[in-house]
Structure 1
Amino acid sequence: MAEEHKIGDYVKGKKFGSFEHDFEGEIEKVYENSVLIHILSFDPEDRILVGELNNRAIVRKDDAQPAKPAKVKAE
């Protein structure tokens, strides 16, 4: 929580709601207490949910931890 989130930061989001697993992505927008993440890496079990969310999720800032981008997964 000490560091400030910025647009373009790559983060790991904690699973919540219907998500079965954590996910990773890039911050698209920063709100007062949360961030909008463009989901770029996720578990195949969450594929349908991620599609329904248009590859985006809003998470609390505390639940968005800095991460290093993983290698792009081939379909």
Structure 2
Amino acid sequence: MVTGSELAIGEKISVRKSQDVPLSFKGTITKVYENSALVSIDSFDDQYKEVVADLQNKTVVGFKHIRLVNKTEK
């Protein structure tokens, strides 16, 4: 699990689908809160196209669901 001190605006992350998160996606941190972050959704599977449209390509994700993308994957 990452913490707020590990995250910075512009950081690339990945999120896996879970009970709390409706889709898997890769994104970019746009704002960091106390226990979560506002994330722009950059890439996702086509099956989630309607969900992403409903979210207007942004969502708030708790730190426990965020995984930092390796620098080599950017």
TM-score (norm 2): 0.80
Indicate yes or no: 2:68 matched with 1:66. Answer: yes
Shift of 1:52: 0.8
| Whole-angstrom CA distance in 2 between matches of 1:55 and 1:4 | 23
- What is the aligned partner in structure 2 of residue 42 from structure 1? 44
Shift of 1:18: 6.9
Residues 14-29 of structure 1 aligned to structure 2 (within 5 Å):
14-16=16-18, 17=20, 19=22, 21-29=23-31
Q: Which aligned runs of 4 or more in structure 1 are off by greater than 3 angstroms?
A: none
Q: Which runs of 5+ in 2 are unaligned?
A: none
CA contact (8 A) 1:38 1:55 kept: yes
| Number of aligned residues | 68
Cα-Cα RMSD: 1.8
TM-score (norm 1): 0.79
| Whole-angstrom CA distance in 1 between matches of 2:9 and 2:63 | 12
Deviating more after overlay: 10-19 vs 27-36: 10-19
Q: Which runs of 5+ in 1 are unaligned?
A: 70-75
Structure whose residues are more often helix by fraction: 2
Deviating more after overlay: 9-18 vs 33-42: 9-18
